Amino acid sequence: MSDQVNNAGDTVLVTGAAMGIGRGVAEVLTAEGKNLVLFDKDGEALEATAKALGGKHAIKVGSVTDLSDCEAAVQLAVDRFGGLGGVSHNAGIQTYGDAVTTTPELWAKTLDVNLTGGFYVAKAAMPELRRNKGAIVLTASVQGMAAQKGALAYVVSKHGLIGLVTGMAMDEAANGVRVLGVAPGSVETPMLRWAINLDPNPKALDDEIDAMHPIGRRGQPREIGEVIAFLLSDKASFMTGETVRVDGGMLARIPGAPRKADQ
């Protein structure tokens, strides 16, 4: 598309849009008729996603770790659609290691992508969100509220992202901008599939992951997308500063509790 559409409130920037939760968000918002700026570092996958989605969209290939790329994505929304009214930030990486095995380079990379990336996207978008009384939703993780072993940098980065939600919500409430987060449990994404395939017994781990959720299965990207779309909408107009668990009941379960009431 090349013609500007002056409808900033119906324009959403989606990071990590090429696959996984970001693509799920884009699918839901496309079905709602939103104008989208699809932002991802994987240009080939982003093009494929855009082609599959159809709808009204613009593409920005770049990294959330580069503030100038984030600013360019926001400017693209302004140039193409007349402004920006919402942001769904989903870009992130999974890393593993404890305090001994996590190298300084891995620590820096994880926080750079998962936490600083969220800050850069918010920093770039905030002037437009203030102008249009918009909303931003950051995708964190249940590991921003709890932790698994051996993923120290990832856990810290997601805890930080929830702190970013809370802090920005307080700063931006007077400006009419709502700031929210989601904390998914395990979701069927390429990142989860990569992590599962690191295990010597992927099939057993697959089964274990489903069993971790009282609902009996992992989530799907569009299920997270539906929640994010709600949080971005006026239906969530009295919500800010909250990070919503979308985890199939994972963190609600008492460890060791029987699975059946009669046990």
In a domain, 210, yes or no: yes
In a domain, 3, yes or no: no
Residues 6+ apart with CB under 8 A from 137: 86, 87, 88, 89, 180, 181, 182, 228, 231, 232
Encode pLDDT of 4-46 as tens digits: 444 667 999 999 999 999 999 999 999 999 999 999 999 999 9
**Residues spanned by the domain of 163:** 8-248
Encode pLDDT of 147-175 as tens digits: 989 999 999 999 999 999 999 999 999 99
- Of 2, 31, 20, give the one whose Cα is nearest residue 12: 31
In a domain, 263, yes or no: no
Count of the separate structural domains present in the chain: 1
154 catalytically annotated: yes
In a domain, 259, yes or no: no
- Of 72, 82, 62, 68, give the one whose Cα is nearest residue 16: 62
Could you give the CA distance from residue 90 to residue 158 in angstroms, rounded to a whole number? 12
Q: Which pTM does this prediction carry?
A: 0.90
> Could you say which of 90, 154, 155, 227 is catalytic?
154
CA 69 to chain centre: 18
Give the CATH number for residue 73.
3.40.50.720
